[in-house]
Amino acid sequence: MGKLSIEDLAKIKEESKRKMNLRDGEYKAKINVHMGTCGIAAGARTIVDALLREIEKKDIKEIMVTTSGCAGLCSREPMATVEIKGGAPVKYADLTEAKIIKILNEHALAGKVVKEYALAVGSEKTTA
């Protein structure tokens, strides 16, 4: 029978507590992956999975990964929105695993918008 053991958890708890003293526990950025039925059918689970694995691998504590429903542009799924504390949210479309990892490293962690994957950056034109 598979079950998580109390001894293992106690070990993880001690290790986490030791590490926790070294960080402030504040999230710097939020990556929200759209996981409506359309997003899931288009591969949103692979996107979140890639993100969580990278965060585990690199032991990244300052990024929060959340999910939400359909963003209204089903044909451009998988989509994600990156929001840096104090900054405007940026929507990314037609995501792949490689794209979301680049977005995590360059935008969420380093603060630089990955313009080539963004849904709309400066696309609105005023005709006045």
CA 77 – CA 35 distance, rounded (Å): 9
Closer to another protein by CB, 15 or 121: give it.
15
Comparing CB distances to another protein, the nearer of 4 and 110 is 4
The binder of another protein chosen from 52, 89, 111, 115 (CB under 8 A)? 52
Q: How far is the CB of 126 from another protein (least distance, A)?
A: 32
Quick check: 73 binds another protein (CB under 8 A)? Answer: no
Nearest to 58 by CA among 8, 11, 108, 17: 108
Non-local (6+) Cβ contacts of 117 within 8 A are 92, 93, 94, 95, 99, 102, 103
Regarding 86 and contact with another protein (CB under 8 A), the answer is no
The string of DSSP letters for 36-66 reads SHHHHHHTHHHHHHHHHHHHHHTT--SEEEE
Q: Which of 29, 35, 84, 90 binds another protein (CB under 8 A)?
A: 35
102 within 8 A of 68, measured Cβ to Cβ? no
Indicate whether 26 belongs to the interface with another protein (CB under 8 A). Answer: no
Q: Which residues bind another protein (CB under 8 A)?
A: 1-4, 6, 8-10, 12-13, 15-17, 19-20, 33, 35-38, 40-41, 45, 48-49, 52, 55-56, 59-61, 65-67, 69
